[in-house]
Copies of this chain bind each other. A is one copy, B any other.
Amino acid sequence: MDAWTLGMTWLDYAAVAVFAASGALAAARRNHDVVTFGFFAAVTGVGGGALRDLLIGAPVFWVKQPAYVLVCLAAALMVWLFGSGRWRETILVWLDALGMAAYSVVGAAKAEALGIPALAALVMGVLTATFGGVVRDVLAGEPSVLLRREVYVSAAVLGAGAYVVLRAAGLGASPAGLIAMAAAFSLRGGAIIWRWTLPGFPDHRRRVER
């Protein structure tokens, strides 16, 4: 296994873990029990990749490799044990940015490796990076990450798009992946620090955000 594959495997598990932790934190916010912690962690951690695999017709990645589910449960346990203090949420938002950046590239790369066309591979990267969080928010009855105005989906689009474009331009998987990941992480990081938003739809009959 070369360094790139090894690095991607580690990133993959790390991304599952931070997404799972964000799911457990959503459960923590409502004082749920430990089983619900595990459920939210698992759905958030592996949901995006599961949808990607279903759509591209690949075997769902965690079904034959339950280590992914164990990682989710371990992340849930960590959140349970070490609480959800304010600084922990700060750490998590940064880990989540890393996970999102990694997943946008991992998702696009897996689709591309299966011969999916570039545009669909981009969509797969975006779905892998965002769908777990969407399901987490819908299940928790919270406003979906899609409805927040901060740059998030856009960073996933940048990551997956950069990977697809760089690969089409002839770059190897390793440099393309590293550059794309750095781009996605930088954009999301900037959005976290400086609260970047894209301009909203310029509607004169504005309604109040719920």
Contacts and interface: CB of A to CB of B under 8 A. Distances in A.
Interface of A: 27-37, 39-40, 42, 50, 54-57, 59-60, 62-64, 66, 69-70, 80, 83-84, 116-120, 123, 126, 130, 134, 138-141, 143-144, 146-147, 149, 153-154, 157, 197-203, 206-207, 209-210
Nearest to A67: B119
Given A32-B201, A140-B147, A123 B209 contact: no
B33 A149 contact: yes
Contacts of A141: 143-144, 147, 210
A50 B55 contact: yes
Contacts of A63: 55-57, 116-117, 120
A201 B146 contact: no
Contacts of A198: 33-35
A26 B141 CA distance: 17
A134 B143 contact: no
A84 B67 CA distance: 44
B120 A153 contact: no
Contacts of A50: 55
